[in-house]
Amino acid sequence: MSTGLIALLDDVTALAKAAAVTVDDIAAQAVKAGTKSAGVVIDDAAVTPRYVVGLAAERELPIIAKIAKGSLRNKLLFLLPAALALGLFAPWAITPLLMLGALFLCYEGAEKIYEALLPRSAHDHEASIGRDPANPVALENKKVTGAIKTDFILSAEIMAITLSAVPDAGFWTQAAVLALVGTGITVAVYGSVALIVKADDVGIALATRQTSTMFGRFLAGFGRGLVATMPVFLQALAIVGTTAMIWVGGGIVVHGLEEFGQGGLAHLIHDASVETGRIAPFAGDAVAWLVSAAGAGIVGLVAGAVLIPIVGYGLAPAWQSLKSFGR
């Protein structure tokens, strides 16, 4: 009896150790995969704050919460099972789907530039595709819907990079890594976004505190600095977000074409970055990266600009007709 109990305890201990090793392995692979997708995560964090710029301060956190919930739903309910299924049954479909999503990013980014350069024409374009909000509630719903759509594309890229980082792992390990990375990135991105958009409110609270201590005066000055700089910072972040959408979208298109045997653009951008990097030997890597990113951005901008009339005069009217027919 005692010998059997000892053997059972040994088996339990061995299983516990194996489980601990598995958990450690999943955590390590999740960190590795999350690091690989860091570039897209930064883009996601830069894109999101622009959706609350210009809205009432009391609606900022509720809107971010809605977007975060939509993001988590995108990753865990749709993209995680889709990524696993595609990896098992149709790996050939992953690249075309990512390219379609990338074209959406290019279109969204180019449309923002169009809106900044030609606001009246952009307003007419928004109205023509049914995206001209009639009231504050409609505007908020439009912002949330647009943010979740954009997040879906960025999340798809994050999940694809994550899956590619653990190609030899078992099915359940891949699922655990995807879930861990998806959840962790969502919390990190939208937690950061919430801190960014509410920093000016924190600044006001600090600046209006009644205190006579040196540290209190320092905090009050810091608060006034936050209030003064945050509007400019948010505008700059909106520009970074738009640029990131075009850059990421263009990069996916370029790499997708290369996978389909059309590597001319990828080789051209690579050669230009290498040659430019040689001109600046002390900052060669940084210059090469900038040239490569600029090349992807140009491709994304051109693709987005081409899509604006296609969507405005072709896809959007067709979609509106289809919806009217469905009623």
- For the stretch 189-243, pLDDT in tens is 888 888 888 888 888 888 887 777 888 888 888 888 888 888 788 778 778 878 8
Is 78 among the domain residues? yes
Cα–Cα separations (whole angstroms), residue 303 to 254, 293, 298, 320: 11, 15, 8, 23
Q: How far is CA 8 from CA 3, 16, 17, 18, 19, in A?
A: 9, 12, 14, 15, 16
User: Has residue 17 been placed in a domain?
Assistant: no
Q: Is residue 256 part of a domain?
A: yes
Q: Which amino acid is at 242?
A: T
Task: Indicate whether 9 belongs to any domain.
Answer: no
pLDDT in tens, 165-201: 777 777 888 888 888 888 888 888 888 888 888 888 8
Under DSSP, is residue 295 helix (H, G, I), strand (E, B) or coil? helix
Nearest to 152 by CA among 70, 232, 92, 38: 70
Range of the domain at 286: 40-326
Residue 55 lies in a domain: yes
Contact assessment for residue 109 and residue 216, using Cβ atoms and an 8 Å cutoff: no
- Number of compact structural domains in the chain: 1
In a domain, 32, yes or no: no
Which is more confident, 38 or 268? Answer: 268
**4 domain residue, yes or no:** no
pLDDT value for 20: 41
**Looking at the whole model, is its pTM more than 0.85?**
no
Pairwise CA distance, residues 67 & 32, whole Å: 26
- Greater pLDDT, 268 or 9: 268
53 domain residue, yes or no:
yes
Radius of gyration of the chain (CA): 24
